[in-house]
A and B are shown apart, each in its own frame.
Chain A
């Protein structure tokens, strides 16, 4: 027999390593399932909050215009009723990106030229930032800094020497607060405040004058009635008075006002005892329990709408130009508007913090992943301890440390893959169901399939990486095991 010449042991091809690891995972399926469950829970949590935030963001984006039109009439009536508060004008001046039409309106009403607008906007932006700071401050600290003053009243108050001293002293005490501008800048701003205020006053006077001219034109006609002709002669009146009204806005406004009048007429019927009684009889409730919601639901069906019109006429109510189709259309629009209102409320918090899921949720997700990592590390350590003899035997048979390490890492990564997949599906279903209940029909048109798929891919990849990283230490321990442990008998 010839003496052996000792060489380096060849490295096993990855396919074979994977094959051996897979055989092991299959054999220990049940134990592995418990580990997988831990990963599923963590990844489902992540996927759930990611999907919810993505859906909220998508819905918010898709309904933004619809929500704006929902408030269109309110906005115009407010605008045409009295001069706007300083804060609103400042916010409009400071708007980023700037709305050129809106700025032109303010410039025209305030009587400033384009050159004057630039420094005005800059100052307005600064004022807006400072006001935002005070608006988000809690009452106690604001009281210490600026006393009872509110909004632009703060700037007036701080003109006083003593108030300024109180403010700077208070700010110095509140170390955690970050004032948006330096004290020197703020002082300079306060010195110029009088000028800025005068310019704002000019804008407000312009608004008041414009409103007065419109009022005189209207005479006794209510503003809402006049706005029905916003796409006609009354629109020209508004433009002549100095307001910016684009043709699209005008026609939208006219439609909304017409709808609003119909809605008001229908909602007025609820005060009629005859109508109440009929609806109550139909729905088998007491007349006192009839709600507007109930009537709108009825009106969604055309034959009920026709029936309702007859009841209105029977009770000597003016039905005007209302048709059954108009009523069903209105009822559907009301339902949609309610949904939009829910959407507006639900999507208020969409988009903040890291990944658009908010600081709190980000933290929760991180903590859940940390817990998951500890769980995996523990499970893998147990697996290593349990398989001492197997590992040592493999080393006796000529396995390299790298092979043992790879075997455990692959096992962990496979568990992570399974957990990630399960978690992504579970989290998606959970979030999808919850959002479907909240947004109903709004969801179908705005569902962010691509983003959600990406979130799913991220969850799966993260599950794998998390499992593999958590398994590094246990795998190292396995790889370093002495082969002579195989001889040990328990």
Chain B
């Protein structure tokens, strides 16, 4: 399945990253019915996200940002329109295939870390591997390597409750990489952390993006994210307000300041 290249150049196409599309939405809509009222969480969103890019999604709460995230993360299906992840139409997948997709293709990082409380750091990291069919020594070896990558090799036996927020988020990042996903979906990864710890997490995310070429999509209010991303996306009232490359934005920010 090869993606049909768009005839006209996409808006604000990145310059430095490879131009293969990894997530594409076509007329994506999400409509909720509450009684007789119809709520448009998303109104016809068309967007393309390229392999290996670091994209930041910004928007006030209630803007449809979370809904957008759920759609492109294969956690929810659109009411109308389509979502292609790696050219696979998510709506066509069965529950088992969706689990397969979530397990191997996408890594999720949550605002409140969402580590499994009763598992050690290593067990948390190896759980997605077990779901993917890898277990035993192989999983442990890979898990330790990932913990080493986020600098927590020595704390593999600690439970989440014994770790600081930054450490928990680092374990969560290691877990999200368990099955070497192509996409990393981060929902406000630094919102619960202090300034310095947030910097550390951002540094790890940037490093992963640069060294491993993982497509990273970050929803955030954190302006530091602007310094490390390739593109920025603003969502407002269920639609994309604007997409811009970082260099374009930096000028504006400078201008405002």
List residues of A whose CB falls within 8 A of some B CB.
1, 3-4, 6-10, 12, 16, 20, 23-24, 26-28, 389-390, 393-401, 403, 482-484, 486-487, 489
Q: Which residues of A contact B187 (CB under 8 A)?
A: 487
- Beyond the given pairs A484-B70, A487-B66, 16 more chain A to chain B contacts, judged by CB atoms under 8 angstroms and listed by A's residue number, are A1-B182, A3-B87, A4-B86, A4-B182, A9-B97, A27-B118, A389-B114, A393-B108, A395-B99, A397-B108, A397-B178, A398-B100, A398-B132, A400-B99, A482-B76, A486-B114
Task: Please give the distance in Å from A414's CB to the nearest CB on chain B.
Answer: 14
Given the interface pairs A394-B127, A397-B127, A398-B131, the reply to whether A8 lies near B103 with Cβ below 8 Å is no
| Contact, CB under 8 Å: B102 / A8 | no
| Contact, CB under 8 Å: A397 / B128 | yes
Complex CA distance for A395 and B116, rounded to whole angstroms: 12
4 tightest A-B CB contacts, nearest first: A398-B103, A27-B118, A398-B131, A9-B99
A13 to chain B: closest residue by CB: B135
Partner of A3, one of B86, B132, B179: B86
Partner of B1, one of A3, A10, A12, A395: A3
| Contact, CB under 8 Å: B97 / A7 | yes
Task: Please give the distance in Å from B191's CB to the nearest CB on chain A.
Answer: 9
Chain B residues 185 to 203 lying within 8 A of chain A, measured CB to CB, are: 187
Chain B residues 99 to 117 lying within 8 A of chain A, measured CB to CB, are: 99-105, 108, 110-112, 114, 116-117
Task: Please give the distance in Å from B187's CB to the nearest CB on chain A.
Answer: 6
Whether B244 sits at the interface, judged by CB under 8 Å, is no
Task: Please give the distance in Å from B171's CB to the nearest CB on chain A.
Answer: 13
Give the number of chain B interface residues (Cβ < 8 Å): 47
Q: Which residues of B contact A403 (CB under 8 A)?
A: 131
Given the interface pairs A12-B131, A487-B70, the reply to whether A4 lies near B118 with Cβ below 8 Å is no
14 CB contacts below 8 A, A to B, read A3-B87, A6-B101, A7-B100, A9-B131, A12-B131, A389-B114, A393-B108, A397-B103, A397-B128, A397-B131, A398-B102, A403-B131, A484-B70, A487-B66
| Contact, CB under 8 Å: B118 / A28 | yes
Whether B119 sits at the interface, judged by CB under 8 Å, is yes
| Contact, CB under 8 Å: A399 / B131 | yes
B114 to chain A: closest residue by CB: A393
Complex CA distance for A269 and B70, rounded to whole angstroms: 98
Given the interface pairs A23-B119, A23-B123, A28-B118, the reply to whether A396 lies near B96 with Cβ below 8 Å is no
| Contact, CB under 8 Å: A489 / B112 | yes
Complex CA distance for A489 and B191, rounded to whole angstroms: 11
| Contact, CB under 8 Å: A487 / B116 | no
Task: Please give the distance in Å from B151's CB to the nearest CB on chain A.
Answer: 22
Complex CA distance for A7 and B104, rounded to whole angstroms: 11
| Contact, CB under 8 Å: B118 / A400 | no
B108 to chain A: closest residue by CB: A396
Partner of B108, one of A7, A28, A399, A486: A486
Task: Please give the distance in Å from A389's CB to the nearest CB on chain B.
Answer: 6
Complex CA distance for A393 and B102, rounded to whole angstroms: 11
| Contact, CB under 8 Å: A395 / B86 | no
